Structure 1
Amino acid sequence: MKENADEFLENLVKKTMKSSPLEAPPSDFTSNIMARINVKSTTTVYQPLISKMGWMLILTTGIAYVVYLYVISAGEPNDWFKAVDFSTVSNNEIMNFFSELKLARITTYAMVVCGLMLCAQVPILKYFITKRQQGSY
């Protein structure tokens, strides 16, 4: 019974499809749609938080400060380092843990190679991400 109903429906669909004409869009359909779309393209221009001039000013100020400190303290001994107690930094449990930690030579080599690979991959990935954002990749 169910097979007859399925066959009847299939025949009905075939007859309906044959009798209905195939509709096609007009030839200028795409251009009409595109003409109706108002595209306002706004591109975001990348501007760094600190400009090149700002970095130069920061670098110049830092160098001038170091030179100033060197000139001012040229004749005086640096006794103010003795007044600061650095023992809390060097005498704690974390430093003791790392001082007792012994790494195998192969582990040290692996860490150095991984660090170098990371330093090499960061500029490469930045290049590809920049290219993808610009749309040329």
Structure 2
Amino acid sequence: MKDNADRLLESVVEKVMKSSHIESPSPDFTKMVMSYVSTKSTATVYQPLISKTGWLIVFGIATAFVIYVYLSTGTDTSEWFEAIDFYVIATTNITNFFSKLKLEQVTSYAMLVFGLMLCAQIPILKYFIDKRQRKFS
């Protein structure tokens, strides 16, 4: 049954192909397409978000601020520095916090495998991204 259907389909396709005629484009088709493409395409020019003069202004303001702060403060401490309570930082013992933390052995292994897989994936992803960029440039 399938062979008969295939033969019938083949004969129909042959009849359609014989009755159709080949269409060809006009003689200046390529010239018209190329002129259309060349007029429509424009190159994208890279423009940074902050120009060089903008960076120079930001750098100059930051430098002026650092110089102002350095020259305006003497050897004495300023008021805002005295308002910070460093006693909380000095009395907090971070090692005590981590010593109370108990991890199961399975969790430790899972974290170790996750870290190793992450370290393995970074060079692989970098290779594929570099390969894709080379293909488009």
Structure 1 length-normalised TM = 0.49
- Higher relative contact order structure (alpha carbons within 8 Å, sequence separation ≥ 6): 1
Structure 2 length-normalised TM = 0.49
